[in-house]
Amino acid sequence: MLIGRAPVRISFGGGGTDLQDYYNDYGGLVLSATINKYVYGILTPNPDGHCQLISADYQRIMVGGPRTKPAAGELRLVKAVLDEFKAPYSTNVFLASEVPPGTGLGSSGAVVVNLLNILATLYAKPLSRQGIAELAYRVESGRLGAPIGKQDQYASAFGGINCIKFSRHRVYVEPLRLPEATVRRLQRNLILFFTGNSRSAWDILRAQQESTRDKAPLVLDVLHRIKHLAVEMKKALEAGDLQRFGQLLDESWQLKKHLSPIISNPLIDDAYATARLHGALGGKITGAGGGGCLVLYCEEDAQPDVRRVLRSKGLQQMEFAFEFEGARIIMNTSGPARRPEVQHERRANLLSAALPRPR
């Protein structure tokens, strides 16, 4: 048995510049942080020679072999990973997540990263964190044709608060070396709410991808400015100027809405305006937009009012903390570990600890 987990992330700035059609020509830059909300995968052998895939989040089960086509959701991701890895179809795979699907927190990328890490450990394949992130991107963009960027895979594989730079030939992950006091204050002043609307980002990202490929002047200008603001956010964090960071979040969100008319909606606009009216300095919808989670920078003295008004509008707060481990194996009974980058814990009671807490 192998149990692995991978974190989801909150993106702060630079989203959209991690699309290949942008960074190949202009270079991309994203600022993000992983949080202690995880996707989990449990892999066990199946002696009857069939493959059983179970998704707790989508409440779906697929039983079959290499030619079986799963309907949708996480099961498509699992099958694509198994196909990419040429894994034998005599396996049980169970998936569960601590966040709902479609939150904009990069859970799909985390699912693929986690499964690749599990399979690489099972077969003792020497995959680095960068190798796992690149392969995860190839699975989603190549095998599934997803119009995605690379930030989710890299964030989940590496963990931490990072500035991730994208170019035609390489991706650089630069951890932010922030004082502990800055990290604690940043975490206290960020609040996260689920809007209740799950969404697929593919329509938004596909339209943005086409506009970037066609070099639409408005889209390129907005992306250039979003990237510049992400650089300024990094400088503000490194200087400990968190108020400036919050203001930059707002500037970036106002710009991002120019990329597509479906990035925001009346519910999001109303919730965001209300939060700002009651003391939030800035924020954004995580991910491509259209729904999911709203992250806000809000000083502690204003947070009670912001929480109250957003809850009255039906938004649900999600408590979180930053995490700095990235993808890891938390239980391995298949044999001794041979990958130095993956940490293993051999405890009989880890199975229950690994599964998501009830929400």
Catalytic residue numbers? 152
Cβ neighbours, 10 Å, residue 24: 15
E strands, 46-160, where?
Answer: 51-55, 60-64, 91-97
CA distance 156 to 278: 33
3-state secondary structure of 291: coil
Closest Cα to residue 78, out of 98, 67, 62, 100? 62
Helix axes 242-256, 180-189, angle to 10 degrees: 50
Encode burial over 185-218: b for 16+ CB neighbours within 10 A, e otherwise: bbeebbbbbbbebebebeebbebbbebbeeeeee
> According to DSSP H, which parts of 123-216 are helical?
129-138, 151-158, 180-189, 202-213
Q: How many CA atoms lie within 13 A of 124 on its CB side?
A: 5
CA distance 112 to 205: 19
- Amino acid of residue 84: E
Closest Cα to residue 190, out of 320, 286, 7? 320
3-state secondary structure of 211: helix
Q: Encoding tokens for residue 213?
A: 């490929």
Q: How many CA atoms lie within 13 A of 41 on its CB side?
A: 33
CA distance 200 to 59: 18
For residue 240, report the phi and psi dihedrals to the nearest 5 degrees. Answer: 75, 15
Intra-chain end-to-end CA distance of the chain, in Å:
26
CA distances from 86 to 76, 82, 297, 300, 352 (A): 15, 6, 44, 50, 30
Bridge-based pairing state of the strands 190-194 and 60-64? unpaired
